Chains A and B, each alone.
Chain A
């Protein structure tokens, strides 16, 4: 009995050590990281708004392979992105370029915001000097109608 427990304990101990023996250290390939950084900036051209880094489509996989290959050749990020732009156009960039037509997209929101800000100020200024017109007085008949309606609702409340 005692022997049995000993056996079980030894096997548990051995098993727990074995994981240390067989596991390999986890190494992240720095090239993979750089590849994914670039792939995150490129649009998977056959998907709906998905970056190359996240897509499982065949084309995205090919593009990742090409990025890695070019990194191994010593090309930098700018050169690799240009390679894809030359072949697929600006469409391949997830962030539109800050030049040419892309500039409109970058500049329009701040311009609109400034415009809204200044027109709000102008509208407020044009109103600030004005006197608000006095409230119109209720006619005798209307006052009478309100009084009657109040009385009626009070009565209803008492009935309940």
Chain B
């Protein structure tokens, strides 16, 4: 009988250690998005200058959609990454933004002060466009390939490496 018990205890322990190991090594900040693999919805609205814009694939190029707000501290660090990225990748990609729950004057001031890497920023004052896209908060970034499929969504401030990885994914 005692020997039989070990046949249960040892596999159970191995399973437990395996689960703990998986829990410790997986990234708690990585929130899998059900939107990956889906088509980016065509959302219509206005940019910060009141011009009509439609979110989706821009100019038939792989498109990055970055969600930002002037009240978001983490976005400031990320902004430099995006400015560098826009310079490095130039015309090979489209970079647009969703300005999330932000006042127009604050958003405009932020861009004129820190530089504007975006073709335009969709003004989402109510946060409804964000909700349509499953946005938790700012900053978040969608990588959309030429076919309009979301290939990656990052719910954290981007680093240069994350930007490169995302662009590699959507250029495939």
| Chain A residues at the B interface, C-beta cutoff of 8 Å | 45-46, 58-59, 62-63, 66, 85-91, 119, 123, 126
Contact = CB atoms under 8 A, between A and B. Distances in A.
Contact of B137 (A46, A66, A86, A126): A46
A87 B137 contact: no
B127 A123 contact: no
B10 interface: no
Given A88-B34, A91-B31, A126-B1, A58 B132 contact: no
Question: Chain B: interface residue count, which band?
Answer: 10 to 19
A90 B131 CA distance: 15
A87 B1 CA distance: 52
Contact of A63 (B31, B126, B131): B131
Nearest to B101: A58
Nearest to A45: B136
Contacts of B35: 86-87
A87 B133 contact: yes
Interface of B: 1, 8, 31-35, 101, 126-128, 131-134, 136-137
B168 to A, nearest CB: 24
Contacts of A90: 34
A59 B131 CA distance: 8
A123 B1 contact: yes
A30 to B, nearest CB: 24
A123 B101 CA distance: 63
Contact of B131 (A62, A85, A119): A62
Contacts of B131: 59, 62-63, 66, 87
B101 A87 contact: no
A89 B137 contact: no
A87 B136 contact: no
B132 A87 contact: yes
21 contacts: A45-B136, A46-B136, A46-B137, A58-B101, A59-B127, A59-B131, A59-B136, A59-B137, A62-B126, A62-B131, A66-B128, A86-B34, A86-B35, A87-B34, A87-B132, A87-B134, A88-B134, A89-B33, A89-B34, A123-B1, A126-B1
